[in-house]
Amino acid sequence: MGTKLYIGNLSFSATEDSINQLFSQHGSVASCQLITDRDTGRSKGFGFVEMSTAEEAQIAISSLDGREVNGRQMKVNEARPRENRESRSNGGFRSSFGGRQSYGDRSY
């Protein structure tokens, strides 16, 4: 399995093809995914690239982190594991629905 990289501060005009081409200059790209807004389809300015090996991933990080692409200084680092949404605290979420309300770890 390869190493997944987080790519941030991308130009909104960047495409998966252009990012794939950029990273393939530094090794074999297993996958490339830019994150888009589900309502508008517009790029959110970040994405993920999976390099085939950890060595290629390190080469891409050292070569591309801070590099200016389309007028923006790109941020490249190793992606962290995705946070499990169920494990997040509700942060004091207040429900507008009837019944008991929960604020953090207390119920009323």
Summarised one tens digit per residue, pLDDT across range 31-78 is: 999 999 999 989 999 999 999 999 999 999 999 999 999 999 999 999
* Domains located in the chain, CATH noted: 3-75 (3.30.70.330)
pLDDT at 84 over 60: yes
Helix (H) or strand (E) holding 62: helix 54-64
pLDDT at 26 over 70: yes
- The pair of three-digit structure tokens given for residue 28, joined into one six-digit string: 């074999």
pLDDT at 89 over 60: no
Which residue spans within 26-73 are E strands per DSSP?
29-36, 43-51, 68-69, 72-73
Q: How many helices (H) and strands (E) does the chain have?
A: 2, 8
Higher pLDDT, 99 or 77: 77
pLDDT at 83 over 60: yes
